C-alpha cells in the first residue's frame, strides 16, 4: 500500500511497540497501597525541570522525572526516534509544532484523542490544530512563537536611526548603520529565521489537498523575501558568518556590532542570559512590514508535550502535560524562565505576560508580541519530514552565504530536493 498522506501513513504503519518500563509504575507497595505512576519526560527547555518539581509536589499518585537532552535539531529527536524503535521511549517528550508531522510519519506518537479531548477548550484553537493531525490528537500545546524585532536602542540613537516600520526602511537603516560603522551590521541572518520571514511574507511552504502534499518552497511570496535578503547580503549589510547562538553570535549582540535580532518571544530570556552587558540597551518593536500600514507577522517555534509511542500510562501522561501548560504556577515559571508565550487561553491573562521587563529598560515587550500573535496567519502548515527539510534548508542557505549561490536560486534547488525526498517516502506530492 502506498503512503499518500499522514492519514494514509497511519494506516500502514506497524503496530505500536510496548514500552519497556521507563513509563511504568512500580506496582503495589509492601504496605498494600499502590505506588505512584512514574513517568519519564525528555526535553531541553530551561524551566521545564522546575514545572516538573511543582507538579510532583502536588501529585503523589503520579511522579514525573525530567531528563534533559540536546535540542531536537541537535540530536534530541534522533534519540527519541531510537528509543521508540527500541521499545524503551519515555511517555512524554518536548516536540516542536514543526516536528509533529515527522513524528507521526515515523510512527513515534500515541493517539491520545480520548484522553485529551476535554482539554481542547483550554487552548487557543490553532495551537490545538498543531497537535491534532488527520483528526486525532497526539500531544498538548505548550506555547507559540510570535516574532518581533529586538533592537539595540542605544545604537539606533547613536547614529540617528529610526525604528523601521517597513522592510524598505530596514534596508535603509542597514545602509546608514554600516556607513557610520563599517564593522557594524543590522542583523546576523540565521537560516532558522527564514521560515518565520516566509510565513510573514504570506508563503505556504506545505499544504494538503485530499491525499496529496503540495510543496511551494519557491513560491512568489518566499522569493520576494529571499530576493530582499540576497540584496542585503550582496551589499554586505548583514552578517552571515556567525552561526546562530554561537559565542560569536551572542558577542556581536552584546557589543552592539549587530544591532538587531529577529526572533520569537522565547528569545527574550536567552538574550538576557547571553548578553548581560547589554541590559537596558535593548528594546522590542513590531516586525517591519512589506507595505506601510500592514499588520502581518510570522511565528517561529511553538511546542507541545507529546506522548510517545509505547506509553503505558496515557491518561496520566495527558494529566501532567495539561497541568504543565495550564496551571498558573507552572505557567508563571515557564513564562519567566523558558520565555514562553502560552498556548493556554487562560495563560494570556496572567500579569506575567503584561508587565515591564527590567532587562529591556522596563518596556512591556509582551504588548508587542501580543499584537504579533493576533495578526499571524494561523493556517501555516508544516511538512511531514521537517528534520530532513530543516537540514536541507540550512545547507542551501550556507551555499548562498558562501557566495557560491544565491538564496532565490537555492530555493529552486531546495524545492526539487524536498519533492524528491517526500516521494521517496511514498508520499503523493505536487510541486
What are the pLDDT digits (tens) for 65-79? 999 999 998 999 999
How confident is residue 33, by pLDDT bands cut at 50, 70 and 90?
Answer: low
In contact, 406 and 400? CB cutoff 8 Å: yes
28-53: average pLDDT: 83
The answer to whether residues 35 and 29 touch, using CB atoms and an 8 Å cutoff, is yes
290-411-72 Cα angle (round to 5): 90
Identify the pLDDT of residue 26.
41
Average pLDDT over residues 41-60: 97
The confidence band for 34, taking pLDDT boundaries of 50, 70 and 90, is: confident
For residues 373-390, average pLDDT: 93
Q: Where are the domains of the chain?
A: 6-144+302-353, 147-298+380-430
Say which CATH superfamily domain 6-144+302-353 falls into: Periplasmic binding protein-like II (3.40.190.10)
Q: How far apart are CA 147 and CA 192, in angstroms?
A: 12
Which pLDDT does position 134 carry in this prediction? 85
Q: Spelled out in words, what is the top-level CATH class assigned to the domain 147-298+380-430?
A: alpha beta
**CA 148 to CA 286: how far, in whole Å?**
5
**Nearest-5° Cα angle at 313, 308 to 315:** 100
- Strands (E) across 79-225 are located at 92-96, 132-133, 136-137, 139-144, 147-152, 185-187, 206-209, 212-215
- At 8, is the pLDDT very low, low, confident or very high (cuts 50, 70, 90)? very low
Residue in the block written with cell 517516502? 425
Is the pLDDT reported for residue 2 higher than 50? no
Judge whether residue 192 has pLDDT over 90.
Answer: no
Mean pLDDT of 120-142: 96
Q: Which residue has the higher pLDDT, 13 or 398?
A: 398
Amino acid at each position: 500500500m502506498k503512503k499518500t498522506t499522514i492519514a494514509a501513513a497511519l494506516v500502514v504503519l506497524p503496530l505500536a511497540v510496548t514500552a519497556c518500563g521507563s513509563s511504568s509504575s512500580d506496582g503495589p507497595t509492601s504496605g498494600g497501597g499502590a505506588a505512584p505512576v512514574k513517568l519519564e519526560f525528555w526535553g531541553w527547555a530551561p524551566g521545564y525541570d522546575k514545572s516538573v518539581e511543582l507538579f510532583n509536589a502536588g501529585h503523589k499518585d503520579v511522579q514525573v522525572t525530567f531528563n534533559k537532552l540536546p535540542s531536537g535539531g541537535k540530536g534530541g529527536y534522533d534519540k527519541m526516534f531510537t528509543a521508540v524503535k527500541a521499545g524503551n521511549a519515555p511517555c512524554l517528550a518536548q516536540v516542536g509544532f514543526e516536528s509533529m508531522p515527522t513524528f507521526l510519519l515515523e510512527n513515534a506518537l500515541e493517539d491520545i484523542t480520548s484522553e485529551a479531548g476535554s482539554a481542547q477548550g483550554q487552548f487557543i484553537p490553532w495551537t490545538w490544530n498543531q497537535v491534532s493531525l488527520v483528526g486525532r490528537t497526539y500531544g498538548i500545546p505548550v506555547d507559540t512563537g510570535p516574532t518581533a524585532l529586538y533592537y539595540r536602542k542605544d545604537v539606533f540613537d547613536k547614529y540617528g536611526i529610526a525604528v523601521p516600520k517597513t522592510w524598505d526602511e530596514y534596508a535603509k537603516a542597514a545602509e546608514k548603520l554600516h556607513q557610520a560603522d563599517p564593522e557594524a551590521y543590522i542583523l546576523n541572518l540565521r537560516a532558522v529565521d527564514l521560515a518565520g520571514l516566509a510565513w510573514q511574507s504570506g508563503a505556504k511552504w506545505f499544504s494538503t489537498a485530499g491525499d496529496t502534499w503540495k510543496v511551494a518552497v519557491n513560491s512568489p511570496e518566499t522569493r520576494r523575501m529571499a530576493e530582499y535578503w540576497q540584496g542585503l547580503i550582496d551589499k554586505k549589510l548583514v552578517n552571515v558568518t556567525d552561526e546562530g547562538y554561537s559565542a560569536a553570535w551572542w558577542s556581536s549582540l552584546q557589543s552592539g556590532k549587530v544591532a538587531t535580532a529577529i526572533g520569537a518571544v522565547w528569545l527574550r530570556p536567552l538574550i538576557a542570559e547571553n548578553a548581560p552587558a547589554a541590559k537596558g540597551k535593548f528594546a522590542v518593536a513590531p516586525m517591519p512590514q512589506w507595505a506601510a500600514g500592514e499588520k502581518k507577522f510570522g511565528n517561529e517555534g511553538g511546542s507541545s508535550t507529546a506522548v510517545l509511542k509505547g506509553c503505558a500510562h496515557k491518561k496520566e501522561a495527558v494529566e501532567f502535560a495539561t497541568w504543565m501548560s495550564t496551571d498558573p504556577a507552572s505557567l508563571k515559571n515557564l513564562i519567566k524562565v523558558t520565555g514562553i508565550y502560552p498556548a493556554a487561553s487562560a495563560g494570556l491573562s496572567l500579569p506575567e505576560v503584561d508587565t515591564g521587563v527590567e532587562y529591556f529598560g522596563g518596556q512591556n515587550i509582551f504588548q508587542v508580541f501580543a499584537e504579533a500573535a493576533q495578526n499571524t496567519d494561523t493556517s501555516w502548515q508544516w511538512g511531514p519530514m521537517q528534520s530532513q527539510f530543516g537540514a536541507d534548508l540550512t545547507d542551501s542557505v550556507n551555499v548562498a552565504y558562501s557566495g557560491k549561490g544565491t538564496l532565490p536560486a537555492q530555493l529552486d534547488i531546495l524545492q526539487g530536493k524536498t519533492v524528491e525526498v517526500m516521494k521517496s517516502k511514498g508520499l503523493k506530492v505536487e510541486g
